[in-house]
Amino acid sequence: MENKYIITIARQFGSGGREIGKALADKLQVPFYDKELITMAAKESGMDAEIFEDVDEKATNSLLYSLSMGLYSFGNSFSAMGDLPVNDRLYILQHKIIKKLAENGPCVIVGRCADYILRERDDCVNIFFHADMEYRKRRAVEVRGVDKARAEQVVNKTDKVRANYYSFYSGQKWGFAQNYDLCIDTSKLSSDEIVSLIVKYLELKK
Amino acid sequence: MENKYIITIARQFGSGGREIGKALADKLQVPFYDKELITMAAKESGMDAEIFEDVDEKATNSLLYSLSMGLYSFGNSFSAMGDLPVNDRLYILQHKIIKKLAENGPCVIVGRCADYILRERDDCVNIFFHADMEYRKRRAVEVRGVDKARAEQVVNKTDKVRANYYSFYSGQKWGFAQNYDLCIDTSKLSSDEIVSLIVKYLELKK
């Protein structure tokens, strides 16, 4: 189908959001952006992608936190942003990149407050994927290679970090239904079925 | 289509949840329960439906609150529940009725923690409807006859009461995506389109 929308995807860790987003982008034949946004930010800023990977989708909570994490003041390699913590630099860079990508046309963007960053546009469809804990633990182990004994802890901690990140930059609650056009429990349908449901949504919205 | 699921609907005030639920029940040719649950509770208990209407979907916050609202101890007309506040009596009655209705087969049930009450069943589809404030204010005025000047206040207050009710009896957060199988912003599609989307969901889930 021809799709004219920019689809943003927020997702609980282990819900399969990334994989469903990729399958949706393939189905719609539009570009897909997830970790690619880090590489783009690195390229744009001339900084090392590895530095950004460490702080990706993590909020700067305070100056003290930034100092303790060694995130504050990264030399002059990206002087336009002065002494901003790396987290904030990455957010600003990804903010700019996401806006530009949206201007280029339909695509699928995962995470990074894209729904909030693009809130002024009327051609976005914002989706949130979630699933019950057992499902997410199983996927964390099978797909992400997380140690089984630590799976629940990793799932909870990653979600907490994502929620903080979203709340810090958007001022809104992550996972709260009213921030999204559509929220789907990914443990109740297969990936293919979820893609079909979203395609149906896009067809109806036309 | 033939539908084998019990569909529970939670909804922000003014989102059109009741109307969409009714249209969905008609489409699926299954019974629809909303205010009907009050009449049923009145019939079951021998109490006056009007008494229940006042406390429907309202939590008992405390004994003091119950006393101040005149909700505490309602004679012996429903002696099996002793001195329970009317709110709690209604919750218990509706709890029992909702469980029985679900046993009778597929249906659509609006509000009243039905998703939580039926959480042990694996044949439920739990839906949350929400919409932006402007849309809900407009509908509150046009459909519910709310005074325009007070519309935002009424919308916010009704949602707060519903959130308290849900949280009081289920211990969970109302409107939090992970409590539902599907959450839909009703301001982005027409009622017919939302019914079509849910029918698609039910077909996929088969």
Report the distance separating Cα B155 and Cα B133, nearest Å: 8
pLDDT at residue A77 in the model: 46
Stretch A172-194: mean pLDDT: 96
Dihedral angle computed from the Cα positions of residues A125, A107, A93 and A171, in that order, rounded to the nearest 10 degrees: 10
**What does the block give as tokens for B54?**
């006042």
Two structure tokens written together for B35: 């205010």
The highest-confidence range among A18-22, A51-55, A166-170, by mean pLDDT, is: A18-22
* CA distances for A65 relative to A54, A59, A163, B141, angstroms: 14, 10, 17, 48
d(CA B205, CA A128): 19
Residue among B177, B185, B200 whose CB faces A200 most closely = B200
Give A165 or B176, the one with higher predicted confidence. Answer: B176
- A 12-51 residues with CB < 8 A to B: 12
What DSSP designation does B124 have?
E
Q: CA nearest A94: which of A104, A109, A77?
A: A109
Question: For A72-104, how does the pLDDT look when each residue is reduced to its tens digit (9 = 90+)?
Answer: 444 444 445 666 778 788 788 888 889 999 999
B20, B31, B71 from B8: Cα distances, Å: 12, 12, 28
Q: Which of B122, B123, B197 is the best residue to mutate to test the A interface, defined by the most A CB atoms within 10 Å of its own CB?
A: B197
Question: What is the predicted pLDDT for the residue at A40?
Answer: 80
**Which runs of E-coded beta strand occur in A22-147?**
32-33, 107-110, 124-130
Average pLDDT of the residues of chain A: 86
B193 min Cα distance to partner chain A (Å): 6
CA distance A131 to chain B (A): 7
Angle formed by the axes of helices A191-205 and B191-205, to 10°? 160
- Report whether pLDDT(B16) > 50: yes
Rounded distance between C-alpha atoms, residue B63 and residue B88, angstroms:
11
Does an H or E element contain A92, and which? helix A86-104
**pLDDT for residue A20 is more than 80:** yes
Taking only residues 145 to 204 of chain A, the set having a beta carbon closer than 8 angstroms to any beta carbon of chain B reads 175-178, 180-185, 188-189, 193, 196-197, 200-201, 204
Q: At A18, which amino acid appears?
A: R
Pick B92 or B117 by higher pLDDT.
B117
Residue where the block lists tokens 């709340």 = A167
Q: What is the pLDDT of residue A73?
A: 45
Q: Given B175, B181, B204, which is nearest A185 (Cβ)? A: B181
**pLDDT: is A181 or A164 the higher one?**
A181
pLDDT value of residue B74: 45
Best of A9, A127, A200, A203 to mutate (most B CBs within 10 Å, chain B) = A200
Q: Do strands B107-110 and B32-33 pair parallel, antiparallel, or not at all (unpaired)? A: parallel
pLDDT confidence of residue A104: 93
The interface predicted TM-score (ipTM) is 0.88
Least confident of A39-48, A125-134, A154-163, B107-116: A39-48
More confident residue, A77 or A179: A179
Mean pLDDT computed over A180-189: 97
Q: Between residues B105 and B78, which one has the greater pLDDT?
A: B105
Please provide the size of chain B in residues.
Answer: 206
Q: What is the mean pLDDT of residues A33-59?
A: 79
Instruction: Supply the pLDDT for residue B76.
Output: 40
In whole angstroms, what is the distance from residue B28 CA to residue B83 CA?
A: 41
pLDDT digits (tens, 9 = 90+) for B28-78: 999 999 888 778 877 887 878 777 777 777 777 654 554 555 544 444 444
Q: Which pLDDT does position A68 carry in this prediction?
A: 53
- Cβ separation B177–A181 shorter than 8 A: no
Express as a percent the part of chain B with pLDDT over 70: 89
Residue A164, beta-bridge partner list: none
Q: What is the mean pLDDT of residues B13-41?
A: 91
Per the prediction, chain B carries an average pLDDT of: 86
Torsional sign, CA B163, B169, B173, B179: negative
Angstroms from A97 CA to nearest CA on chain B: 27
CA A118 and chain centroid, separation: 13
The least confident of A2-6, A145-149, B90-94, B114-118 is B90-94
The torsion region of residue A183 among left (phi > 0), alpha (psi -120 to 50) and beta comes to beta
**Residues of chain A with pLDDT > 90: what percent?**
59
| Spatial contact of B59 and B168, defined as CB atoms under 8 Å apart | yes
Which of B125, B178, B184, B199 is the best mutation test for A, with the most CBs of A within 10 A? B178
β-sheet bridge partners, residue A129:
A11, A184
| Nearest residue on chain B to A10, alpha-carbon basis | B177
Instruction: Please name the residue ranges forming H helices in chain B.
Output: 17-28, 36-45, 49-55, 63-68, 86-104, 114-117, 133-142, 151-170, 191-205
Q: pLDDT at position A74, please? A: 45
Q: Are B182 and B7 in contact (CB under 8 A)?
A: no
pLDDT of residue A82: 61
pLDDT (average), residues A163-176: 89
Assign B57 to helix, strand or coil: coil
Per-residue pLDDT, averaged over A93-118, amounts to 91
